[in-house]
């Protein structure tokens, strides 16, 4: 069960503050303005993390089949993390696609 201690706690999401200039800006707790990542970069990084979890899951499964894993719960956790991340990414994709379709149907 030592893997449960290594899990990071969920961090609250900060809402971005919108400005009229072209730069992406977010106000932090110290009221200073910091540049934020564009949405496309956030999406790319998230997809990379999901892919990394899938690769880690595959590696753990291979190691299990070769008898190199002592605790099967480690493999189970890795597989569940990868599956949950993939399901979340699919839901996000579906929501983005739905939003795009709604915008495309708008009359100008």
- Residues 73-107 pLDDT 10s: 999 999 999 999 999 999 999 999 999 999 999 98
Six-digit token string for 75: 């493999």
DSSP the chain: -HHHHHSPPP-PPPPPPP-SSSS-EEE-TTS-EEE---HHHHHHHHHHHHHHHHHHHHHHHHHHHTT--S-HHHHHHHHHHHHHHHHHHHHHHHHHHHHHHHHHH---
Tell me what percent of the residues of the chain surpass a pLDDT of 90: 58
Q: Which helix (H) or strand (E) holds 13?
A: none
What confidence tens digit (pLDDT) does each residue in 31-75 have?
666 678 898 899 999 999 999 999 999 999 999 999 998 899 999
């Amino acid at each position: 069960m030592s893997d449960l201690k290594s899990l990071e706690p969920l961090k609250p999401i900060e809402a971005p503050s919108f400005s009229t200039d072209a730069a992406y800006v977010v106000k932090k707790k110290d009221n200073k303005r910091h540049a934020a990542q564009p949405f496309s970069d956030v999406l790319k990084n998230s997809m990379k993390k999901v892919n990394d979890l899938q690769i880690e899951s595959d590696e753990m499964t291979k190691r299990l089949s070769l008898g190199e894993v002592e605790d099967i719960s480690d493999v189970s956790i890795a597989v569940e993390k990868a599956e949950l991340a993939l399901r979340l990414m699919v839901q996000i994709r579906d929501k983005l696609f739905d939003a795009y379709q709604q915008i495309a149907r708008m009359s100008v």
